[in-house]
Amino acid sequence: MTECLWCGETTAQETEKDCYWIMPDGRRSVQILQVPALGCPSCGSYLSDATNQKVEEHLYMCDLSAYADVFSYEDLLKAPVKNLWGSLSSLPD
Ligand SMILES: [Zn+2]
């Protein structure tokens, strides 16, 4: 049992959810399976902000060109990090 982030219900449970996501470049949509989620009897199942952010970061940082449009959350975490040296040098710190 865990606490719902939305309504504070204490009977929420950790679960997994299949989610559609638009890649950061907006040109590709992917389905990510088995993303850790919270399931609340009142609110339904949803991702926490932290999980959302983690997915966003990985989609941005990782090279997913070798992946099909459907992959699991675990695969996402194992994806190789893109070589960003070229573009990073132009970003402000
Ligand atoms: Zn709730």
Segment 13-43, tens digit of pLDDT = 999 999 999 998 899 999 999 999 999 999 9
With a CB cutoff of 8 Å and minimum separation 6, the contacts of 16 are 33, 34, 35, 36, 37, 73
Residue 34 included in any domain = yes
Ligand 1: centre distance to CA 51 (Å): 17
Residue-level length of the chain: 93
Residue 93 included in any domain = no
Ligand 1: centre distance to CA 63 (Å): 35
Regarding pTM above 0.75, the answer is yes
Ligand 1: centre distance to CA 38 (Å): 9
- The predicted-structure confidence for 63-83, as pLDDT tens digits, reads as follows 999 999 999 999 999 999 987
Residue 7 included in any domain = no
Residue 1 included in any domain = no
- Domain of residue 59 covers 13-80
Question: Phi-psi category of 37—alpha, beta or left, where left has phi over 0 and alpha has psi -120 to 50?
Answer: beta
Residue pair 6/21 in contact (Cβ under 8 Å)? The answer is no
pLDDT of residue 36: 98
- Per the structure, the count of domains in the chain is 1
Residue 86 included in any domain = no
